[in-house]
Chains A and B, each alone.
Chain A
Amino acid sequence: IPLTQSPSSLSASVGDRVTITCRASQGISSYLAWFQQKPGKAPKLLIYAASSLQSGVPSRFSGSGSGTDFTLTISSLQPEDFATYYCQQLNSYPQTFGQGTKVEIK
């Protein structure tokens, strides 16, 4: 199930609201996760089941959507949030990932 993630990159300032979208080619219910990855590190789970915040993740991160259209929102971008973000569908194998969104400092 291909996932189309957009944008592929964005430039934003500290305090900005950031939205990343992920679209599945067919319905995946709520079987979607969002990860944050920093250089040289393993991906870190932020959101599971499309909208549930992983324990320990700041509340400025939120997820929404079901079926084919999903969104990750960072309500107020912090310096430590500059990273690459990926969506992943866990509805069926082969699992697929979005292409990634690199969030850079403006």
Chain B
Amino acid sequence: EVQLVQSGGGLVQPGGSLRLSCAASGFTVSDSYMSWVRQAPGKGLEWVSVIYPDGSTYYADSVKGRVAISRDNSKNTVYLQMNSLRVEDTAVYYCARDAPGPDIYWGQGTLVTVSS
């Protein structure tokens, strides 16, 4: 069974850091395009970052320079390191496997709250 299990969210002060994890089972993250998508309270979906199978990474302008996506192939896990967090980064963060076909999977989401 394919699963994406997320962890690492929580409450952090503005300017702080947080690392989100997304552990995959049932497929190999290093063979996949893996994205992070976020959803601010009461708002729509916003793409944040992607890591390609070849290791290339890309970021939304709203987080560029503050966020880093990575993966650990031995753990079949993708990470999102978030630094210099702002109040406007408050959102539920989802990891997702991107695919043109039916193999699109999303994690359960993890809440990040940036507040003093």
Contact = CB atoms under 8 A, between A and B. Distances in A.
Interface in A58-86: 86
A95 B35 CA distance: 9
Given A42-B94, A43-B106, A49-B100, A88 B60 contact: no
Nearest to B104: A45
Interface size class of B (residues with CB under 8 A): 20 to 34
A45 B109 CA distance: 15
A96 interface: yes
Interface residues of A, number: 22
Given A86-B44, A86-B45, A95 B102 contact: no
Contact of A97 (B47, B107, B108): B47
Nearest to B58: A93
A48 B44 contact: no
Contacts of A31: 100
Given A49-B100, A54-B102, A95-B98, A42 B108 contact: yes
A94 B47 contact: yes
Interface of A: 31, 33, 42-45, 48-49, 52, 54-55, 86, 88, 90, 93-100
